[in-house]
């Protein structure tokens, strides 16, 4: 027998947009339940290069997206300051770029309201001495970077503080309809198999690249998503401290984003039929590293840390017939199914950029309020997220500074990301999880140069001791984490990263024997 919950708004999808909808709706006094089939921001939101767009990338090709990005860029710096580092951005004309595009770029920025200033080449090279000295023009724009997991969990906590119920690892398996009205959904817990019926006055489909599939559960056809798969590569340290873009039409491998202690180059854009397609081709990795050389000479000699993929949720009108993902607008699409399909109680929000999640959420909750027949004002333009109340932006090094004030007070578990034992134990208790990847997303545990080689066996022991897991369960948690890290490491095994991987293998296979760990039964028989 399934459990039943009742709510005003059910949000399906726990990425930045879905959590933004939950935050916005809860601030307006609506009761909210949010569900996701996995952890929050485990999908597209957690699989991008970390850029807060200035809008410059789209100023020529997609003016609407550019206007949305610059407007939201300014708002996010106020309301999510603690999640954002103000790196600034350069658009540079390399010898491989059309020199005439620079003037089109400058005009496009002026037309869309993107702050843009051409600066002297010598000044740019003093700021970023590693960028290609053969560049011919440089424009400064207000790009920045953002910690997406920190942002999404701040949204979720803010929504919960206003009464929302947040249920990660609960997949929507059915959408309930009564005639032409959607009345909620049935969700199934991934960990327990328990099913919950959620009765909702309005259901919001915020599942991004999976939005078409969720709409089909509601019996609605024609929500056509063109998933665009792209790879990104994290380099071991910051080769630049400014977001550096090639001044050209958007293409593959044309941006390097410094974020936390690394920098990320991205990204390809290939159409795929499957939003869960995370294939990495060696040819794409090689091409990306070659493109990095055009922006930063010597890029190939630097240590590549990890490669991963993300799938963009690009919405295209089913009548258009276009499958070239580079040609699809990056502006968001809000589908009010009452107006579009004659089905009430159901709204789909998809497309857009992470930079515009707040605007997407505002438009969505406006549509929800219209369906409810209630006018409720949005306050997310000015309401800071939990942790950002003082308006101070994130600074690289602040975590180390805090740690150095209390060097002898807490055992350090992850040296790369400055995660101490107290913070780890608190996160495990708060999340009530045995999945070390969940903790990684929350604390950045195991995301440094060793990719968990020196910290994750310590964290596993702490997880085992806190939760009373059996040896088999703790070993499985460790193996799962290592397998997930391996997926992103093997495509870039060369140089120092190959040496690191070999050392990690000696630690986990040679010393700890994770492939053949002892069982609880053996432990008991030995005592």
75, part of any domain? no
Q: What is the CATH number of the domain that holds 126?
A: 3.30.9.10
66, part of any domain? no
**110 with 157, same domain?**
no
**421 with 514, same domain?**
yes
User: pLDDT at residue 2 above 50?
Assistant: yes
**255 with 283, same domain?**
yes
- Tokens read off for 520: 């609880």
pLDDT in the model for residue 330: 55
Out of 357, 372, 387, a domain closes at 372
**194 with 212, same domain?**
yes
**220 with 182, same domain?**
yes
User: pLDDT at residue 434 above 50?
Assistant: yes
386, part of any domain? no
Please name every residue paired with 147 in a beta bridge, in sequence order, or none if there are none: none
CB atoms within 10 A of CB 135: 22
What pTM value is reported for the model? Answer: 0.89
Please name every residue paired with 51 in a beta bridge, in sequence order, or none if there are none: 145
Q: How many domains in the chain?
A: 3
pLDDT in tens, 81-96: 999 999 999 999 999 9
**119 with 214, same domain?**
no
Looking at per-residue pLDDT, the higher value among 378 and 504 belongs to 378
67, part of any domain? no
Question: Average of pLDDT values for 173-202?
Answer: 96
Q: Which of 494, 424, 488 is nearest to 457 (CA)?
A: 424
Q: Which of 331, 310, 301 is nearest to 266 (CA)?
A: 310
**296 with 439, same domain?**
no
- Tokens read off for 216: 């089909």
In this prediction, residue 506 has a pLDDT band, given cuts at 50, 70 and 90, of confident
70, part of any domain? no
Q: What is 470-482 written as a DSSP string?
A: -HHHHHHHHHHHH
What average pLDDT does the chain have?
90
The owner of tokens 């327990």 is 192
419, part of any domain? yes
Out of 275, 298, 315, a domain closes at 315
Q: Give the span between the Cα atoms of 396 and 408, in whole angstroms.
A: 22
**237 with 311, same domain?**
yes
pLDDT in the model for residue 408: 60
Share of the chain above pLDDT 90, in %: 70
**336 with 364, same domain?**
yes
pLDDT in the model for residue 467: 72
413, part of any domain? yes
Highest mean pLDDT: which range of 62-76, 301-315, 424-438: 62-76
**432 with 521, same domain?**
yes
Please name every residue paired with 232 in a beta bridge, in sequence order, or none if there are none: 266, 308
- Residue 358's domain comprises 3-44+149-224+319-372
pLDDT in tens, 265-295: 988 888 888 999 999 999 999 999 999 999 9
| Residues 87/242, Cβ–Cβ less than 8 Å | yes
Looking at per-residue pLDDT, the higher value among 247 and 271 belongs to 247
383, part of any domain? no
User: pLDDT at residue 404 above 80?
Assistant: no
User: pLDDT at residue 325 above 70?
Assistant: no
**191 with 177, same domain?**
yes
Question: Average of pLDDT values for 197-221?
Answer: 96
Q: What is the CATH number of the domain that holds 335?
A: 3.50.50.60
User: pLDDT at residue 317 above 90?
Assistant: no
């Amino acid at each position: 027998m399934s459990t039943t919950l009742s709510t005003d708004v059910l949000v399906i999808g726990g990425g930045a947009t879905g959590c933004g909808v939950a935050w916005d709706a809860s601030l307006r006094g609506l009761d909210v339940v949010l569900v996701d089939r996995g952890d929050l921001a485990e999908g597209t939101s957690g699989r991008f290069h970390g850029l807060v767009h200035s809008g410059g990338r789209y100023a020529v090709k997609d003016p609407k997206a550019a206007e949305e990005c610059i407007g939201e860029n300014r708002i996010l710096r106020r309301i999510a300051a603690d999640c954002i580092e103000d790196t600034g951005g350069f658009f540079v004309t390399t010898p491989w770029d059309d020199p005439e595009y620079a003037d089109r770029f400058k005009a496009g920025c002026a037309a869309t309201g993107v702050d843009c200033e051409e600066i002297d080449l010598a000044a740019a090279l003093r700021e970023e001495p590693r960028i290609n000295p053969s560049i011919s023009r440089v424009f400064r724009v207000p790009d920045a970077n953002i910690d997406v997991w920190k942002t999404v969990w701040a949204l979720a906590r803010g929504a919960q503080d206003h009464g929302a119920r947040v249920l990660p690892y609960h997949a929507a398996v059915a959408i309930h309809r009564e005639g032409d009205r959607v009345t909620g959904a049935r969700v199934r817990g991934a960990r327990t198999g328990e099913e919950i019926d959620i009765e909702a006055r309005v259901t919001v489909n915020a599942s991004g690249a999976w939005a078409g599939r969720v709409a089909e559960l509601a019996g609605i056809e024609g929500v056509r998503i063109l998933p665009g798969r792209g790879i990104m590569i994290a380099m071991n340290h910051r080769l630049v401290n400014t977001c550096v873009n090639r001044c050209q039409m958007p293409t593959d491998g044309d941006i390097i984003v410094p974020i936390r202690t690394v920098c990320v180059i991205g990204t390809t854009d290939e159409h795929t039929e499957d939003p869960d397609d995370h294939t990495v081709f060696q040819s794409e990795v090689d091409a990306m590293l070659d493109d990095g050389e055009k922006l930063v000479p010597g890029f190939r000699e630097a240590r590549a840390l990890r490669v991963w993929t993300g799938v963009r949720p690009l919405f295209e009108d089913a009548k258009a017939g276009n499958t070239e993902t580079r040609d699809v607008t990056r502006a968001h699409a809000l589908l009010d199914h009452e107006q579009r399909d004659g089905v009430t109680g159901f709204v789909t929000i998809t497309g857009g950029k992470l930079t515009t999640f707040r605007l997407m959420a505002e438009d969505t909750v406006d549509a929800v309020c219209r369906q409810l027949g209630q006018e409720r004002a949005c306050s997310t333009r000015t309401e800071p997220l939990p942790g950002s109340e003082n308006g101070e932006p994130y600074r690289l090094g602040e975590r180390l500074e805090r740690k150095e004030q209390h060097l002898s007070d807490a055992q350090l578990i992850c040296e790369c990301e400055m995660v101490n034992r107290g913070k780890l134990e608190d996160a495990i208790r708060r999340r009530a999880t045995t999945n070390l990847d969940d903790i990684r997303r929350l604390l950045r545990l195991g995301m440094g140069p060793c990719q968990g080689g020196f910290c994750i066996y310590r964290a596993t022991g702490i997880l085992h001791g806190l939760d009373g897991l059996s040896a088999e369960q703790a070993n499985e948690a460790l193996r799962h984490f290592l397998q997930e890290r391996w997926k992103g490491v093997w495509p870039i095994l060369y140089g120092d990263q190959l040496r690191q991987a070999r050392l990690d293998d000696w630690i986990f296979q040679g010393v700890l024997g994770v492939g053949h760990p002892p069982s609880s039964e053996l432990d008991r028989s030995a005592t």
